[in-house]
Homo-oligomer: A and B are copies of this chain.
Amino acid sequence: MEHRTRLDAYVREIEQALNTYLPALDTAQAYVQEAMRYSLLSPGKRIRPMLTLEFCRVCGGDTAAAMPFACALEMVHCYSLIHDDLPCMDDDAMRRGRPTNHVVYGEDFAVLSGDGLQTAAFETALTSTLPADTVLAAVRELAGAAGVYGMLGGQAVDIRTDGKLPNADALLEMYAMKTGALIRAAGRLGCIAAGAMERTCAADRYTQAVGLAFQLRDDLLDLDRDAEDARTTYPALMGIAATRVRIDELTGQAIAAAREFRDADFLVWLAQYLAGREL
């Protein structure tokens, strides 16, 4: 299958599954579910769930079995975006060309719909019909990646330091939590769904490299967009040229890690695609 075709097919399958896991309601709770669906079904790259499905596939698993975990990750990611956009956080009125959740549904329902998406993430992961031990391992992974040692912890450090980390080490540590943890979990959940716990470390090598490269690329794009921004970013600390070199190194590491799996061509392509080197 051509890589771009596979990517598009994944996005389509993921969005169909998200729509099924979080259906429109016609009960008294319809409004909050609608607010949740507004953000969850907004167009997105679906990188995290895609990694879960692909790692499941390259581990020899059935991608359908990985779908509850894949969609759970996307729900956690989406809840964090809704709350990050709130007036008391980043106060963003637009995201990907659409008004943010609180602009459409009000701050109260933006808080609630983020809360509800986090709960829905766990409910969705728990719909898995894989063996109980496997589901437990997956849900533990999900909770760990979302929590204070993962995404939430990274966000907390970022806000607490007002985006001004003192040096590259502190910045990379924050990145590893804020954006790295969910991307790392994405790979691990794919391995877990395939019953290939022993492949999680190899998956980590790929997702940690890809996750950081993706973040550094984002830093470069932010630099272009908003020269006035005083936030510490990797290019601000290390320079644009060094950042580009680092992205290339990370992409090379990711490609080497991908090669540890059979049928890894899509993972190789994806590493380059996510680093902004679309082929």
Contacts and interface: CB of A to CB of B under 8 A. Distances in A.
B88 A155 contact: no
A115 B118 contact: yes
Contacts of A241: none
B139 A111 contact: no
A174 interface: yes
Contacts of A133: 132
B28 A157 contact: yes
Interface in A229-272: none
Range of interface residues on chain A? 35 or more
Interface of A: 25, 27-29, 31-33, 36, 79-80, 83, 86, 88-89, 106-109, 111-112, 114-116, 118-120, 122-123, 126, 131-133, 135-136, 139-140, 143-144, 146-149, 152-153, 155-157, 159-160, 170, 173-174, 177
Contact of A147 (B27, B83, B119): B119
Contacts of A89: 108, 111
